[in-house]
Amino acid sequence: MRKLLFTTGSPFARGVRIILDELGLDYERQEEVTTPTAEERSRATPTFQVPALQDGDTTLWESGLIAEYLLSEYGRRPDIGLPLATSVAGSGAEWSDRLILATVQTLGTAATTISQMKWSGVAHDDNDYLTRCAERLPHLMGWLESRLPDETDGFLKGVVSVQDIFLTCHLNFIACRPIGLDAGLDRHPKIRALVARMEARPAFLANPVLWWEPGVIGYAEDGKTPLYKT
Ligand SMILES: N[C@@H](CCC(=O)N[C@@H](CS)C(=O)NCC(=O)O)C(=O)O
Q: What is the CATH number of the domain that holds 29?
A: 3.40.30.10
Q: How far apart are CA 208 and CA 214, in angstroms?
A: 19
Is any ligand 1 atom within 6 A of the Cβ of residue 63? yes
**125 is in which domain, residue-wise?**
94-200
* pLDDT at residue number 178: 81
> From atom 2 of ligand 1, which residue's Cα is the shortest distance away?
62
Q: How many domains does the chain have?
A: 2
Q: How far apart are the CA of 181 and the centre of ligand 1, in A?
A: 19
Pocket test for ligand 1, best of 37, 39, 49 (most atoms within 8 A of CB): 49
Q: How many CA atoms lie within 13 A of 191 on its CB side?
A: 24
Within a domain: residue 195? yes
Question: What pLDDT does 215 receive?
Answer: 75
- Closest to 178 (Cα-Cα) out of 128, 226, 144, 129: 226
Whether 222 is covered by a domain: the verdict is: yes
Q: What confidence score (pLDDT) does residue 223 get?
A: 67
Distances (CA, A) of 137 to 66, 103, 115, 132, 218: 25, 11, 14, 9, 31
pLDDT digits (tens, 9 = 90+) for 39-81: 989 998 999 999 999 999 999 999 999 999 999 999 888 877 8
Which pLDDT score, from 0 to 100, does residue 26 have?
96
Phi, psi for 4 (deg, rounded to 5): -120, 125
Report the atom number in ligand 1 closest to the C-alpha of 61.
Answer: 20
* Cα gap 76→167, rounded to integer Å: 23
pLDDT at 202 over 90: yes
Per-residue pLDDT tens over the stretch 17-28: 999 999 999 999
Q: Say yes or no: 7 and 103 in one domain.
A: no
**Contact, 120 vs 129, CB < 8 A?**
no
Residue 192 and residue 105 share a domain: yes
In a domain, 88, yes or no: no
CA-proximal residue: ligand 1, atom 5 (nearest): 49
Average pLDDT, the chain: 92
Q: 38: burial class by Cβ within 10 Å (0-12, 13-18, 19+)?
A: exposed
- Contact criterion met (CB below 8 Å) for 52 and 32: no
Whether residues 102 and 169 share a domain: the answer is: yes
